[in-house]
Amino acid sequence: MIKSFTANTREIDDPKAAVSEILEALDMEKNLLKNSLGIISCFSEFGETGVLKAICDALPFECIGTTTCLCATGTEMDQMLLTIMVLTSDDCEFCTTMIQIDDNYESVIPPKMDELFQKLSKKPSLFMGYFPLMNNLGGDLVLAVLDKATEGIPIYGTLAVDHNMDYSTALTIYRGELCKDALVLGGIIGEFEMHFDIASIREDKIKRQKAIITESKGNILIGINGKTALDYLEEIGLSRDDLSIGVGVVPLAISHEDGTKPVTRGVFATTPEGYVVAGGGMPVGATISLGHINEDDVISTTADVMKKIVKKDSVIFSYSCIGRYLVLKLNETAEARKIFEIAGEEVNYLFSCSGGEICPLYDTDGKLKNHFHNYTNVFCRLG
């Protein structure tokens, strides 16, 4: 059984005061069980001032996570906030690892995972995954290699993001250190209940025109229905200006051949050749459709999922795409507030904005398969 408790601080300048506030809120003598792991979301400046490191050094368990532009628990919600969710258990164990990745990620990840598994008596039942936001490497490509290296162990988590337009301080967190190009994983070993769901674009907000991806390379969409991607998209009413605006404007819904629930991709850029740079993999043979999302969609889809998964004494993680955050505009905390409203006092949760979402989905045979998402709020319930 896994139990959880949370703490928050807005103290961004004084490490000593922040540590005192976190330790008092966690009340570890009362709450901590035999094994524990801390999951952190925070405004990037907490790392720059030394507050993040001071808090992690003061805790008797390892902490992992990412920076973000908005996070919340049942007691606090803000942009300039540090939140920590502590998972603790007498019968489950926790492990962590950090892998520096670059263009050689395909050769680096497998041996690092083998090294981790050799240290464990049993493989984890779930990995909490915290991925770096890298301009030259899509999160779905990293996920594909990691999925193979773990032989399909469920992986749930988020890509780092921040409050800057260029995401220059979007970083992962490992033992209190901020990491630019590091993949950070937290494994949960043992038997426990876990459930996954996603809030994404509603089916009635996806246009009926469906086409087939005929050529792609990773996250580069090259051809649709035998035409260059931009030529096809312009034919169905999108201008190059629409597409150049980027994330938050043109969601692309991708349906897989195995019947898995569709995933959504953001458009980040276009190329002179007429290609589209997407926020995730664009597999050849998959069906592609245009979607639309507005403020009401963001709030209502999250509310629908929360009402389904809320369960007394459980813990819920919610990582929501920054595209959804941008759609909310001046009402930027509305999605987090809806989760607070539905969770009530009986459910412990951590909400955080995401640069890309990692969440397993069930295929038509009921088997979990790891997937990478955009424009989505991904949920993981433990217990």
What pLDDT score does 248 carry?
47
- Tell me the C-alpha distance between 29 and 150, whole Å: 35
- Reading the block at residue 160, the tokens are 């780092």
Distance set, CA 279 to CA 150, 220, 246, 270 (Å) = 23, 9, 10, 12
Query: How many other C-beta atoms lie within 10 A of the C-beta of residue 173?
Result: 28
Query: Which among 197, 169, 173 has a CA at the least distance from the CA of 183?
Result: 173
Query: Which among 150, 152, 158, 105 has a CA at the least distance from the CA of 131?
Result: 158
Distance set, CA 135 to CA 63, 174, 359 (Å) = 26, 21, 21
63-67 sheet: strands from edge to edge? 3-9, 82-89, 35-42, 63-67, 172-174, 177-179
Query: How many other C-beta atoms lie within 10 A of the C-beta of residue 290?
Result: 20
- Reading the block at residue 336, the tokens are 């987090």
Q: Name the 3-class secondary structure at 302.
A: helix
- What string of DSSP letters covers 53-116? HHHHHHSSS-EEEEE-S-EE-SS-EESS-EEEEEEEESS-EEEEEEEE-STTHHHHHHHHHHHH
- Tell me the C-alpha distance between 316 and 351, whole Å: 8
| 90-148 residue pLDDT tens | 999 999 999 999 889 999 999 999 999 999 999 999 999 999 998 767 888 999 999 99
The residue count of the chain comes to 383
Domain edges within the chain: 3-199+296-382, 203-290
Q: pTM surpassing 0.85?
A: yes
H/E stretch holding 20 reads helix 15-26
| 7-46 residue pLDDT tens | 999 999 999 999 999 999 999 999 999 999 999 999 999 9
What pLDDT score does 58 carry?
98
Q: Name the 3-class secondary structure at 38.
A: strand
Query: Which among 67, 66, 80 has a CA at the least distance from the CA of 9?
Result: 80
Instruction: Give the mean pLDDT of the chain.
Output: 91
Distance set, CA 49 to CA 12, 156, 178, 202 (Å) = 7, 29, 12, 41
Is the Cβ–Cβ distance between 84 and 7 less than 8 Å?
yes
Using 70 as the pLDDT threshold, list the residues of the chain that sit under it: 136, 208, 241-249, 256-261
The overall longest dimension of the chain from CA atoms, in Å, is: 64
What pLDDT score does 259 carry?
61
Is the Cβ–Cβ distance between 193 and 265 less than 8 Å?
no
- Reading the block at residue 137, the tokens are 């490497």
Is the Cβ–Cβ distance between 31 and 65 less than 8 Å?
no
- Reading the block at residue 15, the tokens are 């490490």
- Tell me the C-alpha distance between 142 and 361, whole Å: 17
Phi-psi category of 60—alpha, beta or left, where left has phi over 0 and alpha has psi -120 to 50?
alpha
Burial string for 119-139 (b: 16+ CB within 10 Å, else e) reads: eeeeebebbbbbbbbbeebbb
Sign of the four-CA dihedral 331, 332, 336, 339:
positive
